[in-house]
């Protein structure tokens, strides 16, 4: 194809000749177009040719925004994946596989009716596992809401805040109380490694038979049994060297029994009898009732008034 150029000094004949050569030789005769081309001008014929070439040796790709791109014959369509998001693999024959990698990173969110992985499913705020157990491994489970469940099992349960409630048992600091009554029932043996401290205004009650409390700043054990009897079922019963009796009235007067520190085992036997104990320092005296057979000696003064009576056993 020659370049057609007409100078301003050329004649009209030259213009006619060049124009005819341009139409006949360079552009060609429209009658010689293929029957597959129906266009009657050069631009339309070229567009029609591109359309035919695309349908046979190329294709058009389009994305979700309706943006199109023509891929013609001899051109290459490249599909690139994104690390940890999507993978694109080309394999024989004429196969393009697009999928997800083993580990998927999602920068926004996943929306689906049910998300399943292995035995576990997440559906509408509910996490279930076909094995019947979900393990969080060695991780901490943190929530600002409420945990509702049939049973909570663990080596330790730690919570923040001042007060915690398990059923009707409330724990506040180091204080445990019942929220629906004044009684906490422990249905097993209680072992206390430290001291048992009870406020002076409270008491310890063992059923209806025994109460331990304080009275006028003194510890007191009170029996609720018949006859107000307290049974010490221990032999021997070891006491300190002093026993104090307050008496029927709580005052500053006490009766004290004191045992001298024994240098060997001693035994004092109380007889099987009823009576009063006579002391060696008492101003009272022994009467004849303490002897099975008694004899009395009365001493008189010069005026015949008895001043002394001596009682002794006749046996």
User: Is there a domain that residue 206 lies in?
Assistant: no
**Which of 122-126, 140-144, 147-151 is the most confident on average?**
122-126
The reply to whether 134 falls in a domain is no
Residue spans of beta strands (DSSP E) within 50-206: 59-62, 68-71, 87-91, 95-99, 114-117, 120-123, 126-129, 163-166, 169-172, 175-178, 204-206
147 within some domain: no
- Domain C-terminal end among 99, 120, 149: 99
Q: Number of C-alpha atoms within 13 angstroms, CB side, residue 12?
A: 0
At residue 163 the predicted structure's pLDDT band, cuts being 50, 70 and 90, is confident
Residue 104 located in a structural domain? no
Q: Print the domain residue range for 79.
A: 33-99
At 275, phi and psi to the nearest 5? 170, -170
- Count other Cβ atoms within 10 Å, centred on residue 100: 11
Q: What is the DSSP letter of 94?
A: T
Model confidence at 21, pLDDT cuts 50, 70, 90, reads: confident
Sign (positive or negative) of CA dihedral 39, 44, 49, 54: negative
pLDDT beyond 80 at 1: no
Asked if residue 219 lies in contact with residue 212, where contact means CB atoms within 8 angstroms, the answer is yes
Direct distance between the N- and C-terminal alpha carbons of the chain, in angstroms, rounded to an integer: 173
What total number of domains does the chain contain? 2
Q: Which residue is associated with the tokens 């083993």? A: 102
Q: Is residue 289 part of a domain?
A: yes
The pLDDT tens digits for 256-277 are: 999 999 899 999 898 898 887 7
CA distance 123 to 128: 8
Could you tell me the two tokens for 153?
């099992």
Q: Which of 52, 81, 99 is the last residue of a domain?
A: 99
Entry pTM: 0.40
The answer to whether residue 235 is domain-embedded is no
Work out the angle at residue 191's Cα, subtended by the Cα atoms of residues 190 and 195, and round it to the nearest 5 degrees: 115
With respect to residue 292, please indicate whether it lies within any of the assigned structural domains.
Answer: yes
In-domain check, residue 288: yes
Q: How many other β-carbons are positioned within 10 Å of the β-carbon of residue 309? A: 12
43, 70, 99: which is the final residue of a domain? 99
């Amino acid at each position: 194809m020659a370049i057609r150029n007409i100078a301003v000094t050329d004649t009209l004949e030259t213009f006619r000749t060049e124009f005819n050569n341009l139409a006949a030789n360079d552009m060609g005769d429209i009658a010689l177009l293929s029957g597959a081309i129906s266009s009657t001008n050069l631009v339309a014929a070229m567009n029609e040719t591109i359309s035919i070439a695309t349908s046979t040796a190329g294709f058009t790709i389009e994305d979700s925004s309706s943006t199109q791109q023509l891929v013609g014959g001899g051109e290459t369509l490249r599909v690139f994946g994104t690390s940890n998001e999507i993978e694109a693999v080309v394999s024989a024959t004429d196969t393009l596989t697009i999928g997800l990698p083993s580990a998927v990173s999602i920068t926004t969110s996943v929306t689906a009716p049910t998300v399943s992985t292995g035995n576990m499913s997440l559906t509408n705020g509910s996490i279930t596992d076909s094995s019947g157990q979900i393990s969080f491994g060695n991780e901490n489970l943190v929530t600002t809401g409420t945990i509702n469940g049939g049973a909570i099992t663990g080596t330790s349960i730690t919570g923040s805040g001042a007060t915690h409630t398990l059923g009707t048992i409330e724990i506040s600091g180091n204080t445990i109380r019942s929220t629906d009554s004044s009684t906490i029932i422990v249905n097993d043996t209680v072992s206390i490694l430290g001291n048992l401290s009870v406020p002076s205004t409270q008491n310890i009650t063992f059923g209806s038979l025994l109460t331990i409390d304080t009275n006028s700043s003194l510890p007191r054990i009170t029996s609720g049994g018949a006859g107000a009897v307290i049974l010490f079922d221990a032999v021997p019963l070891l006491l300190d060297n002093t026993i104090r009796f307050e008496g029927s009235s709580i005052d500053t007067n006490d009766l004290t029994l004191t045992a001298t520190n024994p240098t060997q085992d001693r035994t004092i036997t109380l007889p099987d009898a009823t009576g009063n104990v006579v002391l060696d320092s008492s101003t009272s005296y022994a009467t004849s009732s303490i002897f099975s057979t008694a004899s009395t000696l009365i001493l008189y003064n010069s005026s015949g008034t008895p001043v002394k009576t001596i009682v002794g056993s006749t046996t």
